[in-house]
Chain A
Amino acid sequence: MTPLVPDDIEFELLLEAIWQKHGYDFRQYARSSLRRRMEAFLQKYNLASFSHLQYRILRDPSFFGRSLDEITVRTTEMFRDSFFFTALRNEVLPILQTYPALNIWHAGCSTGEEVYSVAILLMEAGLYERSTIYATDINPVVLEAAQEGRYPVAKIKEMTKAYQQSGGVLPFSNYYTCKDDVAKLNPEIKKNVVFSTHNLATDESFIDAQLVICRNVLIYFDRNLQDRAVALMTRSLSHRGFLCLGSKESASFLKAKVNLEVFAKDAKIYRKL
């Protein structure tokens, strides 16, 4: 392995500065991808080094607010990985039928596409009326967009296809109305969703849930922080609750796996022991 060079050291100091000044802890994020994003950031603002960026972040009050959105990655879509939603629909929801009330925690929900995909499944399974979805993210900017539930019409075709691939059989147009080039989700879908900021790196458990969904968020963390987050989410599960991770994420490299069993292997659905 190559020794650390000045760039690497400046980078660590930058993360320390963000933590101390703004209270956001990225020190345990996966380095390689975080580093690449921050380098793009330097270019965008025409900054010569991480030390220059650190200076801006410490002295320019409005600067960090803008940068949060670039440090975190908001990529998301409806019904991503249709096989996951198929498994949720056919294997998990029938078990959740037996509960009189359901708490669902959706961690790292980004702009809401995945939350509303789950809401649609719950509606179709007749479970939505008794459900509350707590949808959280570190980034207040994406939460605002999520709350709106308005998506470009250009995306509808893709969304419809993904919905059908996941086993949806109703006309997908039941779920939105179009105005100009914006598709607005129907209010019933949003009815039982509560949005709030929550940082998986520093905040604590706030809920007792039967289902926790956290997909494509852990990939941004190093192994230690993944362990913290998975332990936190497992603590937030009620007895025999379900934890859903992203398709390429895995609990099997974590210490926190001792409290989980594999429920659906490819869909990365785990169950609390």
Chain B
Amino acid sequence: MRKNTRIIVIGASTGGLEALRTVLSGLDRDLNGIFIICQHIERSARLNYKMIFPDVQDYSLTEVEDKQPIESGVVYFAPPGYHLYVERLGYFGLSLDAPVNWSRPSIDVLFESAAHVHGCQVVGILLTGANGDGAQGIREVKRLGGITIAQNPESAVADIMPRRAIETGCVDHVLDLKEIAPFLVRLLRKDHSSHKGAL
């Protein structure tokens, strides 16, 4: 992981897989970013990510195993039934701690740990969903200097999750679903050119 690599954490619930398809298939190849996704899902679900996201070819799609190293150019998914954490030592952690906001994996848990470890490198994005998970996480991302984004509730299948996030007053950008990938591409490309400029 390079020093200026962005850690993009994405939370989604009801309608999330569909929304994620739009976001992920809009990413260019070779972006200097690590994508970590917490999608609420039934705990016994066993997912085939290649089948769910057939258009995503430039990134490998991985369901996280405990202590797996965190690497650029990979899209990571929280395993159903476990909380997912970013650890300081450059790898992921999992736990079976009690559900948070009735959810395990919980978006708050992922966002808070990413923010604590990677501060201003974090971009927190909340998509469609029908509960309040993620709002506290968005607060922490913002407090520790990261960038926060909520899907425009009008464009969401379920609007509660992005609304709760926006109500915290900690969301930097409210974007329509289709605008999210282009926003990320611009942001990561800009990092890249300013990083080069600094050399």
Looking at the complex, which one of A30, A73, A216, A248 makes contact with B85 (CB distance below 8 Å)? A30
Contact (A226, B67) CB under 8 Å given A33-B85, A219-B94: yes
Report if A250 contacts B (CB, 8 A).
yes
* Binary contact readout A24-49 vs B (1 if CB under 8 angstroms, 0 otherwise): 00000011110111000000000000
Give every chain A residue within 8 A of B64 (Cβ-Cβ). 248
Report if A200 contacts B (CB, 8 A).
no
Contact (Cβ within 8 A) B117 A216: no
Contact (Cβ within 8 A) A75 B98: yes
Report if A222 contacts B (CB, 8 A).
yes
Give every chain B residue within 8 A of A37 (Cβ-Cβ). 97
Which residue on B lies nearest to A76, using beta carbons? Answer: B96
Bound-state Cα–Cα, A249 to B94, Å: 9
Report if B66 contacts A (CB, 8 A).
yes
How far apart are B49's CB and chain A's nearest CB, in angstroms? Answer: 15
* Binary contact readout A242-258 vs B (1 if CB under 8 angstroms, 0 otherwise): 00001011100110000
Contact (Cβ within 8 A) B117 A223: no
Give every chain B residue within 8 A of A62 (Cβ-Cβ). none
How far apart are B78's CB and chain A's nearest CB, in angstroms? Answer: 10
Contact (Cβ within 8 A) A1 B94: no
Contact (Cβ within 8 A) B87 A250: no
Please report which residues of chain B, range 106-135, place their CB below 8 angstroms from some CB of chain A when the two chains form the complex: 109, 112-113, 116-120
Contact (Cβ within 8 A) B66 A249: yes
Contact (A2, B65) CB under 8 Å given A30-B85, A75-B97: no
Report if A195 contacts B (CB, 8 A).
no
Contact (Cβ within 8 A) B67 A253: yes
Report if A218 contacts B (CB, 8 A).
yes
Give every chain A residue within 8 A of B69 (Cβ-Cβ). 253
Give every chain B residue within 8 A of A30 (Cβ-Cβ). 85, 87, 93, 95
Q: Quick one: which of B83, B97, B144 has the most chain A CB within 10 A?
A: B97
Which residue on B lies nearest to A266, using beta carbons? Answer: B46
Give every chain A residue within 8 A of B76 (Cβ-Cβ). none
Q: Give the interface size class of chain A.
A: 20 to 34
* Binary contact readout B130-163 vs A (1 if CB under 8 angstroms, 0 otherwise): 0000000000000010000000000000000000
Give every chain B residue within 8 A of A175 (Cβ-Cβ). none
Report if B79 contacts A (CB, 8 A).
yes
Give every chain A residue within 8 A of B79 (Cβ-Cβ). 248
Give every chain B residue within 8 A of A249 (Cβ-Cβ). 65-66
Contact (Cβ within 8 A) A31 B88: yes
Contact (A33, B95) CB under 8 Å given A1-B117, A248-B66: yes
Bound-state Cα–Cα, A31 to B90, Å: 12
Report if A220 contacts B (CB, 8 A).
yes
Give every chain A residue within 8 A of B116 (Cβ-Cβ). 2, 32, 35
Contact (Cβ within 8 A) B66 A33: no
Contact (A32, B86) CB under 8 Å given A2-B144, A250-B65, A253-B91: yes
Contact (Cβ within 8 A) B66 A32: no
Bound-state Cα–Cα, A108 to B91, Å: 23
Contact (Cβ within 8 A) B95 A220: yes
* Binary contact readout A140-169 vs B (1 if CB under 8 angstroms, 0 otherwise): 000000000000000000000000000000
Looking at the complex, which one of B93, B119, B144 makes contact with A32 (CB distance below 8 Å)? B93
How far apart are B112's CB and chain A's nearest CB, in angstroms? Answer: 7
Give every chain B residue within 8 A of A216 (Cβ-Cβ). 96
A-contacting residues of B (Cβ < 8 Å)?
A: 64-69, 79, 82-83, 85-89, 91, 93-98, 109, 112-113, 116-120, 144
Q: Can you pick out 8 interface pairs between chain A and chain B where the beta carbons lie within 8 Å of each other? A: A30-B87, A31-B93, A33-B85, A36-B109, A73-B96, A75-B96, A248-B82, A253-B68
Q: Which 4 A-B pairs have the closest CB atoms?
A: A32-B85, A2-B119, A33-B95, A75-B96
Query: Other than the known A35-B116, A36-B85, what 6 A-B pairs have Cβ atoms closer than 8 Å?
Result: A2-B117, A30-B93, A32-B93, A220-B95, A250-B67, A253-B65
